[in-house]
């Protein structure tokens, strides 16, 4: 099921005339068709991707310079704009809307000769942890169709998991790349906040959102990160900090790790996940790495602070969907207030409405200081504590999720339980640091799970070196 070749190996076959872009694209299209019941794709750009593949084959035959991602087949989450293609954030309120411009990441992918094969299903407006909150229906986990793939980037994760593309892009607001990566048994990288431009990414919570990368190996993920990172005149939060070239991933360095003792002892953590991560810690120590545990007193404040702040930002960001400028509208109305109400009632799903209402509540005059201001203070404390940690250590070791993939429908009646399952991932979004989920283990229930590694801001090179070491030497 899984794609085992790296991008470099695909390109080697092309350059040595063992294959061509057109044949590769057609093989991926066949696979997408065979896995159609998984509902990972909203739209597949079949004719367009074949046409582009032919153009790239001609470019190579004519001896023209080729991009770093020549022939790489990529899928996009349905929140990333691609000019003249439909984008809806998996919401009824944007059904039929066509993007009028390219996101910065799409511009960079195309400039390096990538092939975009389609857009992927997701939770509506990236709100959810199961990919069950979509106007297009559930996405199914390719390893067990009774399980969810995780969310919100579940379609993008399954596209890579089932070998329907080489690489996919998602968005990570509170774990929406790492958690589905964990549930699907693939790599999910959330870079430093600002490492990748958010221009052309439909916003959920602007100070948390970050485009992330799904892949099957660190080499591919690192190459794509090199291509799509960097500053952007269209996004003032995109950093001009230069990403060091990610080379020589095979290294024998020793690292300084820290783990949060109360995170591993948390009541929500599956005993087998706890045991396997503790065994990993002991193996790292035996190999000469420094691995130390600390008590992290702010752990229980992470999820509440995240959901107060993220929903507050969502209530503001989603106010633009009012039926006036774009998207659906109820034409039977007689006044503007009625149009707003009916359009949003008709267009937004249950989970989006829940989060808008929660965000509006915490921003209201009577509760702003009690909730929003306090959550901002917690965020500041988390940033300060994180800075102290990375003055002493190279990386933090955490579980990615408290359990393996949920059963379909399991979280439907208890959204709070779904929110609390983000306990290990939202830390990186609150503090803006880089984090990755690595598929190291298999549970007794036959579902995959991994470990999460976090590094300091703009230190993705170290993060990827550590990740390569763990996948090479510690995968079980």
pLDDT tens figures, 428-474: 999 999 999 999 999 999 999 999 999 999 999 999 999 999 999 98
Q: Is 354 left (phi over 0), alpha (psi -120 to 50) or beta?
A: alpha
Token pair 């929500």 is found at: 268
Q: Residue 307 burial by CB count (10 A; 0-12/13-18/19+): exposed, middle or buried?
A: buried
Q: Decide which of 1.10.630.10, 3.30.450.40, 3.90.1300.10, 3.40.50.360 is the CATH code for 7-228.
A: 3.90.1300.10
Q: Strand runs (DSSP E) across 128-245, as ranges?
A: 167-172, 187-190, 210-215
Contacts of 78 (CB under 8 A, 6+ apart): 42, 87, 88, 89, 90, 119, 120, 121, 122, 155
CA angle 156, 451, 469 (to 5 degrees): 100
- Identify the pLDDT of residue 395: 98
Nearest to 204 by CA among 297, 47, 53, 317: 317
CA angle 204, 207, 210 (to 5 degrees): 70
**How do beta strands 395-399 and 448-455 pair?**
antiparallel
Nearest to 443 by CA among 273, 218, 240: 273
Q: Strand runs (DSSP E) across 173-323, as ranges?
A: 187-190, 210-215, 256-260, 290-294
Nearest to 219 by CA among 456, 455, 9: 9
Residue 139's alpha-carbon distances to 132, 150, 175, in angstroms, are 7, 9, 17
Q: Is the peptide bond before 453 cis (omega within 30 degrees of 0)?
A: no
Question: How far is the C-alpha of 375 from the C-alpha of 15, rounded, in Å?
Answer: 54
Nearest to 280 by CA among 395, 420, 429, 161: 395
- Identify the pLDDT of residue 1: 41
- Spell out, as residue ranges, where the chain has pLDDT lower than 50: 1-3
Whether pTM > 0.95 for this model: the answer is yes
Contacts of 370 (CB under 8 A, 6+ apart): none
Other beta carbons less than 10 A from residue 158's beta carbon: 32
Question: How far is the C-alpha of 428 from the C-alpha of 413, rounded, in Å?
Answer: 27
Q: Active-site positions?
A: 77, 152, 176
Identify the three-state secondary structure at position 386.
helix
**How do beta strands 395-399 and 256-260 pair?**
parallel
- Name residue 258's beta-bridge partners: 292, 396
pLDDT tens figures, 399-438: 999 999 999 999 988 888 999 999 999 999 999 999 999 9
Residue 340's alpha-carbon distances to 134, 279, 318, in angstroms, are 21, 55, 12
List the structure tokens of 306: 């995240």
Question: How far is the C-alpha of 239 from the C-alpha of 192, rounded, in Å?
Answer: 9
Identify the three-state secondary structure at position 232.
strand
Sign of CA dihedral 285, 182, 409, 94: positive
Token pair 């969810």 is found at: 148
Per DSSP, helices labelled H in 40-153 are 46-61, 104-111
- Identify the pLDDT of residue 324: 87
């Amino acid at each position: 099921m899984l794609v085992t070749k790296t991008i470099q190996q695909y390109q080697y076959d092309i350059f040595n005339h063992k294959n061509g872009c057109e044949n590769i694209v057609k093989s991926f299209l066949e696979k997408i068709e065979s896995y159609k019941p998984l509902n990972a794709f909203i739209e597949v750009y079949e004719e367009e991707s074949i046409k582009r593949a032919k153009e790239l084959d001609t470019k190579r035959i004519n001896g023209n310079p080729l991009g770093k991602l020549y022939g790489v087949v990529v899928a996009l989450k349905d929140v990333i704009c691609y000019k003249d293609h439909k984008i809806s954030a998996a919401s009824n309120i944007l059904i039929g809307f066509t993007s009028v411009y390219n996101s910065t990441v799409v511009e960079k992918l195309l400039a390096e000769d990538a092939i975009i094969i389609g857009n992927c299903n997701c939770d509506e407006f990236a709100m959810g942890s199961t990919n069950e909150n979509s106007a297009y229906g559930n996405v199914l986990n390719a390893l067990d169709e009774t399980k969810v793939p995780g969310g919100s980037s579940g379609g993008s994760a399954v596209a890579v998991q089932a070998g329907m593309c080489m690489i996919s892009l998602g968005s990570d607001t509170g774990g929406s790349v790492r958690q589905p990566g964990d549930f699907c048994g693939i790599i999910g990288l959330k870079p430093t906040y600002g490492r990748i431009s958010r221009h052309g990414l439909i916003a959920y919570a602007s100070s948390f959102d970050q485009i992330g990368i799904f892949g099957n190996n660190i080499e591919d993920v690192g190459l794509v990160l090199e291509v799509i990172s960097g500053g952007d005149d269209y996004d003032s939060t995109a950093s001009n900090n230069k990403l060091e070239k990610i080379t020589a991933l095979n290294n024998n360095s020793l690292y300084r790790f820290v783990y949060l003792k109360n995170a591993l002892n948390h009541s929500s953590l599956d005993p087998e996940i706890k045991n396997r991560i503790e065994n990993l810690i002991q193996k790292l120590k035996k190999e000469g790495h420094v691995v130390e545990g600390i008590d992290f007193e702010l752990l229980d404040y992470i999820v509440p602070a995240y959901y107060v702040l993220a929903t507050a930002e969502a209530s503001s960001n989603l106010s633009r969907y009012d039926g006036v400028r774009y998207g659906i509208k109820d034409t039977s109305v007689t006044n503007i207030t009625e149009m707003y109400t009916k359009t949003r009632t008709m267009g937004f799903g249950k989970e989006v409405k829940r989060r808008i209402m929660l965000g509006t509540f915490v921003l209201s005059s009577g509760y702003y200081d009690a909730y929003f201001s306090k959550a901002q203070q917690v965020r500041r404390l988390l940033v300060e504590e994180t800075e102290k940690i990375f003055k002493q250590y190279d990386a933090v070791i955490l579980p990615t999720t408290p359990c393996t993939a949920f059963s379909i429908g399991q979280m439907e009646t208890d959204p709070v339980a779904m929110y609390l399952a983000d306990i290990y991932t939202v830390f990186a979004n609150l503090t803006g640091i880089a984090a990755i989920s690595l598929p190291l283990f298999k549970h007794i229930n036959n579902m995959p799970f991994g470990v999460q590694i976090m590094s300091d801001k703009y230190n993705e090179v170290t993060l990827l070196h550590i990740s390569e070491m763990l996948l090479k030497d510690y995968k079980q």
